[in-house]
Amino acid sequence: MQDYELSLAKRDLYLVHIEEELRKKKQFLNEKYNETIDMEEDNEYLRSVRNDYHHYYDFIVSQKKDQISAMQFINDYIDQIVTEGELTDQDLGRARVDQRKILDEISDIQREMDEVTGNYK
């Protein structure tokens, strides 16, 4: 059992490391995008680079909106099951826990989208 717990701990540390690297990469891209805006007046080539960044951010925002819509659809479906279904107390409790997780995930996605759009001039 200890080996299993140790491997889970290593995996969790690895995932935390990966998330931190992704956050750094997003921050780097935001900074570079903002730099290109400042420099583009002096260099016509940078307009093309800025447009690439612009398309990237539009794509990310679109993905985040799609994720929020999908999570909201699942949340609404759970609401429907809870309202119309004959659930046991245990099933009802699980449904509420699942809904809380979904709402937390929606908040996380919204925060990520705000990070992207907040750094976007």
CB atoms closer than 10 angstroms to residue 41? 9
Number of domains in the chain: 1
* Residue bearing the bigger pLDDT, 120 or 43: 43
Residue 83 confidence (pLDDT): 87
CB atoms closer than 10 angstroms to residue 50? 19
Q: What type of residue sits at position 51?
A: N
Return the closest-CA partner of residue 26 out of 7, 53, 44. 53
Give per-residue pLDDT as tens, 56-92. 888 888 888 899 999 999 989 888 888 888 888 888 8
Biggest CA-to-CA distance, the chain: 67
CA 96 – CA 74 distance, rounded (Å): 12
Q: What is the CA radius of gyration of the chain?
A: 21
Write out the residue range of the structural domain in which residue 25 sits: 2-118
Confidence of residue 121 (pLDDT cuts 50, 70, 90): very low
